[in-house]
Amino acid sequence: MRTLVYLLLTLAAATPALAGRTASVVDGELIVGLKAGAVTTAAIGAVADVATRTHLLRVDPGEETAAMARLARDPAVAFVERNRLLPPAEMPNDPVVSYHVTTVHLPEAWDLAHGDPTITIAILDSGVDATHPDLAAQLLPGWNFWDNNGDTHDVFGHGTEVAGVASATTDNETGVAGAAWGCTLLPVRVTNSDGYASLFAILQAVTWAVDSGARVINLSFEGIHSSTALASAFAYARGHGCLVVAAGGNSGVYDATADQPNVLSIAATDAADDHPAWASFGPYIDLAAPGVAIRTTARGGGTATVSGTSFASPLVAGIAALLLSAAPDLTPAELEAVLESTAADLGAAGRDATFGAGRVDAAAALAAALPPPDTTPPQLALTAPAAGATVRGAVSVTGSATDEGAIARVQLLIDGHLHATADTPPYTFLWQTTGTTNGDHTLSLWAVDSAGNSTATAPLRVTVDNPVAPEITALSADHRLPKQRLTLTGRAFDTTTTVTIGNKAAPLVARTATTLTVKVPRLPKYTDQPVVAATGPAQSAAVALAIH
C-alpha cells in the first residue's frame, strides 16, 4: 500500500533580480610580479609594492597581450596577469533570488564554502527534471523505486522544486540560487504521478541512497517523523554517516509525536521570521527555516514560487551539505548539533515546539564547523652568521622557519630594508658585502604563513670588514735595476699588503703605515712595468716603473 501525503502550498511573491557579479578586467593595466632578489627590471621600472615585489604597469588598451608576452620573456619577471575588478561577498547573480538566501546568511557562508562535488544530497521525491539548466550539471544517475528502473524524470514537479532549493546551480546568471550549489544531487523517485510516496519505497530509497554515497537525504513529505517503519532506515543512515532531513508538516496543528532521533525535522518560517499558520509544530520539531514564498526551479524549465515545509527542509539539507563540504569528518550527530547550536532563537527563549532550536543560520553554522582560525605566527630563527660576527665578501645568511600550517615566504632585511625573498626552504640568502660600507649592520628575517600570521627575528648585529684598497701616491724613483730597492709611499698599507712589479712578487724589506720598501724582482731591461699594492682582493691602481 502506498501512502504519504505530498506537501506543497503555493503563494505568489515577487523577488527583485540582482545585478551581475562577474569579475571584469581593467583595460590597459597589467600586474607584474618580480622574482626574489630582483628589485627593478628595464621593462617596468621601479617595483610599486616592495613587500610583494609587484608593479602596476599601464599599457595602451589593446596592447595587453603583446605586453604580457614580452614580460613573460624577462628573466626578472615571476608572473604577469590582467588587472581585474572583483565583486563583493558572494551574492549570486541569478535573476531570481528569494529573501531566504539572505535571511539564513547564505552569501556570508558562500565566502567560506560553495559546496564540494564529493558531497551528495539525495532528493527522495517525484524525480528531478534533468533538462533544467539550473540542475542538469548537478545531477548524478539515480533510481526510480516506484517503477524499479533508472528513469528519474520528474512525474509531478515537486522533486524539481525541492532540488533547486538544495543545490540549484548558482552564480551562473540564470535561474535561482541553491544553498549548496557546489554539491551534487542524487535523484531518487519514490512517488506516483500524483506526488504520493509509499513508506516502503522511501525505506528502500534511504538505504540505497546511503549505499550510493549520499551524505544528506531530504524527505519533503508529511508523516516522516511519525513512521515506525522508517525508523530502521533512518538508523541505518545515521550509523553510516548520513544525515536525514525531513519536512515538519503543513497541518497547522500541534502534533504530540515524540522526536525522531535519527531525523532532523524542519518547521517553516516566513520573511519576518514568524511561524506561518499552516506549519505543523510539536516536540519533534528540531529546526526552522524559511518556507514561505520560496523561489526555486520548476519542472520544464524556469522558476516557481512555492511555500511549505517541503522547501524549508531542502534549505537545511543544502546548508548541512555546505558544512560537510568544509568539514567532511562531521558525524550526523555533530552536524545536527552544530546546526542547532548556531540557530537564531525564535519564539519562547530556548528550544520550543514551534521553531525547535531556532531558525537555521548558514554562516554561523559554517563558521562553527570550520577548524578555529590559525592565529599562531611561524617559528623563525636566524641561524647564521652569529651575532657579533665579522663578515666580508660573499656571506650566506641562513634561517629556519616552521609553522603548524605552511610558510608562505621568508624575507631577509638588511638594516631594516628588504634584501631578498625566499618562497620555499631552505631559507638561505646571498649577501654580497663588497657593496656595503665597512662597519656595523643589522640582519633580520621576516616570515608569514599561509594564514597571514607573521613574525620577525630581533635585529642581529654584524660587522662588515672588507679589505680597503691601498693607494700608491709616489715611488722613490721612476727607474730601477733588478735587486735594487724601491720605496712606495701611500695610504691604507697594513701587515697583509703585498707588492707586485710586472706581475712578479716584490720581496718586502721594510714597512711603515705609509711606506713599503721592496726589492725589485728580475725583469726584462728597458721595459716599463706596473707596480701594484694589494690587500687581499683589493688592489691599488698601477704605477709605472722603468726597468734599466
Catalytic residues: 125, 158, 310
* Residues paired with 56 in a beta bridge: 31
Cβ neighbours of 363 (radius 10 Å): 19
Burial of 97 (0-12, 13-18, 19+ CB in 10 A): buried
CA distance 245 to 263: 6
CA distances from 137 to 129, 170, 388, 530 (A): 11, 11, 65, 83
Question: Are the CB atoms for 302 and 239 separated by under 8 Å?
Answer: no
Residue 187 amino acid letter: P
DSSP strand pairing (407-414 vs 417-422): antiparallel
C-alpha angle 53/54/55, rounded to 5°? 130
- Give CA 453 to chain center in angstroms: 14
Is the CB of residue 188 less than 8 Å from the CB of residue 147?
Answer: no
Strand, helix or coil for residue 508: strand
Place of cell 528550544: 351
Q: How far is Cα 80 from Cα 65, in angstroms, rounded to an integer?
A: 10
Question: What is d(CA 31, CA 211) in angstroms, rounded to the nearest whole number?
Answer: 49
Residue 32 has, within 13 A of its CA and on its CB side, a CA count of 32
